[in-house]
Structure 1
Amino acid sequence: MRSVFCMNQLNLILKPSSILLVQQNSFIKPRWMAIHRWQFPSLSIHGIEGAFSGPGTKTVIPAKVKGKFSIRLVPNMDPEKLRNQVKTYLNGVFAERRSPNEQRVTLQSGSKAWLADVTDKQYNVRQRAIRKIFGIEADLIRAGGTIPIARTFQHTMQKSVMMLPIGGADNGIHSKNEKLSRENYINGTKLFAAFMIETSQL
């Protein structure tokens, strides 16, 4: 569905001295915000293990620290090639520090990006169902997700795969307080029913 992001909201939480930069820098104008959110790869830092993070003061330097991050891929990116590039880069930066410590970079899992075939007839069915329930035209955008099985299904069965999300941009996906609004839950249930009815009429 449509994003609830607004540049005015961003300006409100920034310092006054930063607002001019936000307005002048083409990198974060609304058009570029959308491009970076929907089209480009992204890197997320998930946490650091080993460093003291509890209440109070503790100055002990840990013997080992582990950092976790992920990179969302886009079509035509090779996970194995990216893994080697990231490993080479991190090892190069670490070598420049001339540290007596050791660094190890490992990949837990990786998969190629999945790209939906929006020309498939089931997407026309989806659009009709969304119009019927929400009264709007659905925006077909590219958005990151951690659902590697979608590409596996499409590749293995040689059939088009479609996702029919019912969440909103304010759901706080993967966060501590992730939620699904009551309105989206109710309308989402209606949407699935409408989709099945529209599909039966093909």
Structure 2
Amino acid sequence: MLYSWLLGLVKKWQHMVLRLNLMTLELSHLDVSSASAKHKGWINEPFMMVEKDGKLYGRGTSDGKGPSLGWLHAIEAYQNTKTDLPVNLKFIYVGTEKSDKWHFEHLLKKKKMFLEDVTYICVSDSTWLDVNKPSIPYGMRGFCFFHIEISCAKKDLHSGHHGGSVLDPISDLMYLLNRLVDLEGNIIIPGAYDDVEPVTPEEEKMYENIDYDVIKFQEAIGCQKLKFNDKAKFLMSRWRFPCLSIHGVEGTNSKDGFKTILPKKVIGKFSIHLVPNQEPEKISKLVIDYLDKLWIMRRSPNTYKAYLVNCGKPWISSIHNENYKAAWRATKHAYDVEPDMIRDGRSIPVTALLQELTSKNVVMLPLGAGDDDSDTENEKIDVQNLICGTKLMAAYLYEIAQ
């Protein structure tokens, strides 16, 4: 069915002029997040792909083995219709996206010559905003990931035997973590919002056309109250402004039942998702300086250390350049609907890195739906999305050559 569709496409576009001076780079990743059917609630063994109700369940089906396969299917379709590709192609398949981003960034900088003749860049990651309507992201948040270490002794202590004679490091850690955001979720670190660009009237108008139901989202996740019920404010809070999230504590008893131990050391983990125009280095300094001052005010005899673990730059592109126009036309052709132009709250730092290294435009071209649950249990991709996504990629190659 896919090949017959493409054959009709080629006949329709017989006036196609090959522009082999164009070089398009496609980037995706083949590695995936860890998964365990025993502990994570999977309906099947996560590394045995299972089809059910028109969906393919398995780790990597949507992020990002499915999109990687879509590109290969698109090329195969051109070959089977004996049609030359309209552009030259280079592929980068990343095998360490989930485990060692720094190594990949170092390699890209070291092998920058590989990117020199590239005209356009396409990254096949991310997902749609919604379930039924395609969208194209033109911006993503960056991130800074932090640790706070508090130590009180050289070994764990029994709270019944030693409690009251030493100060609990968890109390110190909770004191610090509780002073990062207010009750409304706003970051209270001085200067955290200084470099956030104001929303322009043009950008604000774009939110009016985005097809999204906030109430349905609230019901789907089972949340009692969202920060905003207004669609534009809600989406801006997810994409347009930074946020701070606390991710957990190492060193404590996380299992069921009681364990009356005072830990020798605890590590608190939190991150800040950055938006375009915010620099990770500046935010990191603001955070560490703020925590250092709080620690002095705490006057605890315990040992404290706060530090940056990892970071990635935010990314934004113009929707008015040729790369995005081609992606928009290809998406409309593949799905017969005009896509929503969105930002994405997630972080894919390689987009900003590629744009920085090449000074070329980067476009994000997702295949997956908004409910694919990438990196969580029961990750899936709709069979129809994989088929139409292959059509999308074949059409994009044609459109980018025009």
TM-score tier, shorter chain, comes to 0.7 to 0.9
Q: How far, CA to CA, are the matches of 2:377 and 2:246 in structure 1?
A: 15
Q: How far, CA to CA, are the matches of 2:361 and 2:287 in structure 1?
A: 32
Compute the TM-score of the two structures, normalised by the length of structure 1. 0.83
Cα displacement string for residues 74-118 of structure 1 (whole angstroms, at most 9, x for unaligned residues): 111121110011112222333333222122111122233211122
Report how many residues are paired.
193
Matching of residue 194 in structure 1 with residue 401 in structure 2 = no
Q: 1:8 to 1:149 in 2, by over 3 A?
A: closer
Matching of residue 31 in structure 1 with residue 216 in structure 2 = no
Residue aligned with 2:293, SS: helix
Q: How far, CA to CA, are the matches of 1:171 and 1:100 in structure 2?
A: 48
Matching of residue 3 in structure 1 with residue 204 in structure 2 = no
Matching of residue 180 in structure 1 with residue 378 in structure 2 = no
Cα displacement string for residues 139-176 of structure 1 (whole angstroms, at most 9, x for unaligned residues): 11111232212112111111111110112221223334
One-letter identity of the residue aligned with 1:146: S
Percent identity of equivalent pairs: 38
Q: How far, CA to CA, are the matches of 2:383 and 2:250 in structure 1?
A: 36
Residue aligned with 1:142, SS: strand
Max radius of gyration: which structure?
2
One-letter identity of the residue aligned with 1:152: L
Q: 1:64 to 1:176 in 2, by over 3 A?
A: farther
One-letter identity of the residue aligned with 2:215: M
Q: How far, CA to CA, are the matches of 2:234 and 2:130 in structure 1?
A: 11
- Map of 1:155 onto structure 2: 356
One-letter identity of the residue aligned with 2:306: V
Q: 1:92 to 1:174 in 2, by over 3 A?
A: farther
Q: How far, CA to CA, are the matches of 1:179 and 1:65 in structure 2?
A: 36
**Alpha-carbon contact 1:166-1:185 (below 8 Å) kept:** yes
- Map of 1:81 onto structure 2: 282
Unaligned runs of 5+ residues in structure 2 are: 1-127, 132-212
User: Alpha-carbon deviation of 1:127?
Assistant: 1.0
Unaligned runs of 5+ residues in structure 1 are: none
Q: 1:106 aligns with which of 293, 304, 307?
A: 307
User: Alpha-carbon deviation of 1:63?
Assistant: 0.9
More strand by proportion, 1 or 2?
A: 2
Q: 1:145 aligns with which of 340, 346, 350?
A: 346
Q: How far, CA to CA, are the matches of 1:186 and 1:8 in structure 2?
A: 27
User: Cα RMSD between the aligned structures?
Assistant: 2.4
More helix by proportion, 1 or 2?
A: 1
Residue aligned with 2:283, SS: helix
Question: With CA pairs under 8 Å and 6+ residues apart, which has the higher RCO, 1 or 2?
Answer: 2
